[in-house]
Amino acid sequence: MLQTTKSAAEVASRLSGVFAVYKPPGLNSSKMIASIKENLGKEITATFPWEPHRHDYRLLPSPDDPTQLTRVDIPSLFKHPLVKGHEKVPMYCQFPLDTLSSGVVVLGIRDGIKKVRAMFDAHYSRQYIVEGKFGLATDNHDASGKVVERTTYDHISGEKLARVVSFLQRNHQNLTTEYAGVDIQSQEAYELASQGLLRPRMTSPPLVLAMRCLEYRPPNFTLEVQCVHETPQWLRKLVHDIGLELRSTAVSTKVRRTRDGYFTSDDALLIKHCKYEFVAEAIERSRHLVSWKKLKPGSNFARKDSELKSEELHEEDR
């Protein structure tokens, strides 16, 4: 693909689709995206030749007869890199992460921007690993914040923590059925919930679709949370609420997104790999994950990995 491309402008126009990047903690998402755009544009401009968009002409003295004028074609320089700068790569992110959190961030380039926006309308869920610590309360619900209260936590057992997690999940599932447009007492709601397919069909407040405690080593605990319409700060508040339910306090020590829709950590590029060749390959690998059939609101996103890889693999991207 790289050898057959004629110019930097053509290369830049061919880079179109959706891919995922793994954002490390401590980095602002906007700055990360701006850096990726800048580096891709500079790489394309430096690597691939510049070709004039069109030619102008001048009338110059003829070499054979200086008294006569002859037309000489010259390249137009208005799109030369020294005039217009490096190639621009339009890029968009619908669900960024804040500076404190880390994990999968899905980006769209050119036509992929429409698909990234369609992911919002499809109400895809996201999965997080959230780590917390009992005994503290801070002004931002994160361990990095200013400590405003210290409490005891010796009375908290793993069984009590599991019960509170289950209680909060049930409360959110009741809300989910409301926004899913199904009766909580109906057979349809039961079947959707049992298959893990119950999710809102409309814009809703942040909702937990599933949550479980992976580990509890006092005072530290680890949760796996599947949710929709959330933000990392809302997840930190969720940790705070768990502490209050257990008659203690709790702060978040880590928020890491492991899945966004169909994209998992395995699909995400490291920032150092966000170069043209790797990004182009990632876009090609991800086309079946963001086919318009899957992006249709209400589509099933909870299928097995083997089904996701095989289904629509050869479908033409609209």
The catalytic site residues sit at 98
- The two three-digit tokens of residue 258, written as one number: 């492991």
Closest CA to 312 of 92, 303, 111, 122: 303
| Closest among 122, 131, 73 to 94, alpha carbons compared | 122
**Which residues contact residue 303 at a Cβ distance below 8 angstroms, ignoring those fewer than 6 apart?**
311
- The residues that bridge with 252 in the sheet, in sequence order, are 132, 142
Q: How far apart are CA 119 and CA 294, in angstroms?
A: 9
